[in-house]
């Protein structure tokens, strides 16, 4: 009967450091693998577009060091997916270099390091546009066009289990993956041990965010998932957390518009008939999951395109009359920007926190708070223009001409007199799928021996 135990110490490795106490409890439980996902598109398109990490390297290095030392000490494979937030080639190379540096620092015995890339050449995507198998859009998007591809700076493909399984079959002790489906990182190890696809993918689904599947809430605590021939079990490693029927089922449903299906390259995990059972105070067992293979393998692509340079201005308002007329105040400031720059060739955005800054038009509370914070974003082709657009759009809030105001200016205060240079603005240009004959086509693998 195939069985496997995997611990996951961190969801989106590096975004916040793992908690060492529950991690060591997980290591002491004798896992067969130590694995974590390190990426997310929740962070927006900027890191992919700029080919940077959104997390400090110190946090990423800390988690990699803890996981590497534990994995080598108990002699089990360590698997990391979506290296460095985005899984671009440079992030994979950086993680490989960190592993090599850590191995030298700690004098580790030789081990086999495997890694794979996931960046996709635009010409490969271009060849599919207009073919018999176009690049299909997700979430209501139209098929990808040449124009939208031209507006794209960088594309990564989302790997399924295939490159991980290849590297595991080659005997790799440590694997650093490019952009990957979160659950595939764990499912690959389970499939390598001979479990069913349904159990493997559910195991991956429940482990991908570490203790997000446990209660009470406590991010970055380790959880242990297992398959032993009778479904999937998941156990919280923090002594004050529990994996309950509600917490595990709730986690299975989140992050997707359809709560019952998890799509990966090569198929779909169907969770409609899952049965959840509390088998001890900290452990829930899940049965009834199904895996439906796809007739054609389509790989998800993610691409980001630059919109322009960006500056941020911050203004605050306490004056009740100005708050009551906040839409007119913003309209005045916008008009001053239009007067100087025209109405196109740049972007100007106002986020009014205390009114609808988070929910936008979906905000059900229509009465503004007694004080507001306005975050102004100016985006333009050059830094100079973006700064001036943002400065004008922010500072002119101060000079808004409102009816019945008898004084001069002063209804608005600025946190800083200047506006702040921010990261360039990017947008998601590619959220599509590409048909492939070989699931490894977009994910070249490599191996190297590391250590003394």
User: Which of 102, 112, 86 is closest to 13 using CA atoms?
Assistant: 86
Other C-beta atoms lying within 10 Å of the C-beta of residue 357: 15
The CB density around residue 315, as the number of other CB atoms within 10 Å, is: 24
Residue 195: exposed, middle, or buried by beta-carbon count in 10 A (0-12, 13-18, 19+)? buried
- φ, ψ of residue 126 in degrees (nearest 5): -60, -35
Strand 267-270, strand 275-280: pairing: unpaired
10-residue mean pLDDT series, the chain (452 residues): 92 90 97 95 94 93 97 98 96 98 97 98 95 93 96 97 98 98 96 96 94 88 93 96 96 84 93 96 97 95 98 96 94 96 97 96 94 98 98 94 76 92 97 96 97 78
Domains of the chain: 4-118+158-297+436-450 (no CATH), 307-426 (3.30.70.600)
Tens of pLDDT, residues 10-30 = 989 988 889 999 999 999 999
What crossing angle do the helices spanning 57-74 and 89-105 adopt, rounded to 10°?
A: 60
Helix H or strand E segment including 431: strand 425-435
Residue 142 in tokens: 């139209």
Q: What is d(CA 111, CA 103) in angstroms, rounded to the nearest whole number? A: 9
pLDDT tens digits, 302-333? 999 999 999 999 999 999 999 999 999 999 99
Nearest-angstrom CA–CA distance, 322 and 333:
13
- Which pair of tokens denotes residue 99? 């592993």
pLDDT for the residue numbered 2: 81
- Give the per-residue pLDDT at 409: 67
The pLDDT assigned to 123 comes to 96
DSSP secondary structure letter of residue 212: G
Residue 129 pLDDT: 95
pLDDT at 402: 84
Residue 267: its pLDDT value, please?
94
- At 34 the three-state DSSP class reads strand
- Nearest partner of 9 among 37, 41, 42, judged by Cα: 37
Residues in the chain: 452
């Amino acid at each position: 009967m195939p069985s496997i135990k995997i611990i996951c110490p961190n969801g989106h490795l590096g975004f916040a450091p793992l908690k060492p106490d529950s991690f060591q409890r997980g290591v002491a439980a004798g896992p067969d693998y130590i694995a974590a996902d390190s990426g997310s598109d929740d962070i927006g398109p900027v890191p992919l577009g700029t080919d940077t990490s959104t997390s400090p390297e110190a946090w990423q290095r800390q988690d990699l060091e803890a996981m590497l030392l534990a994995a080598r000490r108990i002699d089990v494979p360590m698997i990391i997916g979506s290296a460095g937030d985005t899984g671009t080639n440079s992030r994979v190379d950086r993680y490989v270099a960190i592993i090599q540096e850590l191995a030298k620092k700690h004098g580790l015995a030789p081990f086999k390091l495997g890694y794979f890339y996931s960046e996709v050449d635009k010409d490969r995507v271009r060849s599919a546009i207009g073919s018999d198998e176009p690049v299909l859009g997700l979430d209501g998007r139209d098929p990808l066009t040449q124009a939208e591809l031209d507006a794209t700076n960088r594309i990564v493909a989302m790997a399924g289990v295939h490159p991980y399984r290849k590297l595991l079959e080659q005997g790799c002790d440590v694997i650093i993956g490019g952009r990957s489906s979160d659950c595939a990182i764990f499912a690959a190890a389970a499939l390598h041990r001979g479990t069913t696809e349904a159990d493997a993918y559910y195991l991956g689904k429940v482990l991908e965010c570490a203790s997000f599947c446990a209660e009470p809430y406590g991010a970055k605590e380790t959880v242990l998932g297992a398959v032993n021939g009778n479904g999937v079990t998941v156990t919280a490693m923090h002594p004050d957390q529990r994996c309950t029927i509600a917490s595990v089922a709730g986690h299975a449903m989140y992050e997707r518009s359809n709560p019952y299906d998890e799509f990966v390259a090569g198929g779909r995990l169907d969770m409609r008939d899952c049965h959840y059972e509390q088998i001890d105070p900290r452990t829930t067992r899940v049965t009834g999951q199904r895996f439906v293979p796809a007739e054609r393998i389509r790989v998800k692509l993610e691409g980001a395109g630059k919109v322009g340079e960006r500056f941020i201005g911050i203004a605050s308002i306490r004056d009740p009359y100005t708050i009551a007329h906040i839409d007119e105040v913003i309209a005045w400031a916008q008009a001053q920007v239009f007067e100087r720059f025209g109405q196109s060739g740049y972007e100007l955005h106002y986020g009014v926190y205390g009114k609808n800054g988070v929910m936008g038009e979906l905000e059900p509370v229509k009465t503004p708070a007694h004080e507001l914070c306005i975050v102004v974003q100016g985006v333009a082709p050059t830094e100079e223009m973006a700064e001036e657009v943002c400065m004008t759009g922010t500072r002119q809030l101060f000079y808004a001409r409102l009816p019945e105001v008898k004084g001069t200016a002063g209804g608005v205060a600025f946190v800083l007199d200047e506006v702040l240079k921010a990261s360039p603005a990017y947008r998601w240009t590619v959220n599509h799928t590409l048909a492939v004959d070989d699931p490894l086509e977009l994910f070249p693998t490599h191996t190297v021996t590391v250590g003394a």
